[in-house]
Structure 1
């Protein structure tokens, strides 16, 4: 799908506020409401827009700790990448997963209440993922900025 400047502007505005009304969105991008709605629908149908989310504060601020995990695979072949990604999708505890350049192959995010919960995730899930050579985990101190939550494909 080819994305033009109007589509990019629609996507930018929806990232800032996914609850923006179609009328306001249309006004901001310079389209009629019906043309704007049609463009959003095309972006959704093509998979460019995969979904919408709500950012929710934890009931007890600081109750959840974000853990950033860098994974290095034994090999970077298509087979290893596909097997790893298929396995990741089976675990709802993993909130985000990015294929990376640089020192590690993947970066993951999980949210835990404490170190005991992370230890379980590490032992039961991360250590059992196919093709994993190295796992490096970092615990966040606090969230400085969140604009959206991870969404799986």
Structure 2
């Protein structure tokens, strides 16, 4: 599906606040409520919008204080085998295959550094993993996710209305 400027504007607004009403989005984007609803439904059907979620403040998320990236080098380029193993782990937040020196990156969130270490040991025993480097997150300065349309939010304006 080719995203239109309207789609990108809708996505930018939803990224900032997924609880916005269809009426509010329509007013900010400058289209009808029906258009917004239809575009959101279509983006959900096509998998562009996979879910709506809640972002908890750190104090409200005591089970996820420790985060780390695992950089993986594999024996052979078979990220899907590693993904199949770890995709069900509740601590896995993200998984990316990469080009360059690394084969994959995994982002995990756990209750403690000890749990991160347990995950590291478990992942390090995977038969496809040749080496694993851990990068512990000390502080998150910004996290905009990977959604589309972020440039509209940065500009702070959309069709003359403040975002």
Same-fold call, TM cutoff 0.5: yes
Distance 1:141 1:82 in 2: 29
Given the two structures, how large is their TM-score scaled by the length of structure 1?
0.83
Aligned to 1:66: 67
Tell me if structure 2 keeps the 8 A contact 1:22–1:33.
Answer: yes
- The equivalences for 1:30-109 within 5 A come to 30-59=30-59, 64-76=65-77, 80-109=78-107
Please, what is the CA RMSD of the aligned residues?
2.2
Q: Distance in 2 between matches of 1:147 and 1:13?
A: 12
Alpha-carbon offset, residue 44 of structure 1 = 0.5
Q: Residues 23 and 73 from structure 1, CA distance in 2 versus in 1: closer, same or farther, beyond 3 angstroms?
A: same
Equivalences, count: 145
Q: Which ranges of structure 2 fall in alignment gaps of 5 or more residues?
A: 147-163
**1:132 aligned to 2:133?**
no
Deviation at 1:97, TM superposition (A): 1.1
Distance 2:60 2:84 in 1: 33
**Gap runs ≥5 in structure 1:** none
Q: Which runs of 4+ in 1 moved over 6 A?
A: 60-63
Deviation (angstroms), 1:99: 1.8
Give how far 1:128 is off.
Answer: 3.3
Per-residue CA distance 1:113-139 (angstroms, 9 max, x = gap): 333222211223x12334111110011
In structure 2, what is the equivalent of residue 116 of structure 1? 114
Q: CA deviation at 1:25?
A: 0.8
- In structure 2, distance between residues paired with 1:30 and 1:19: 18
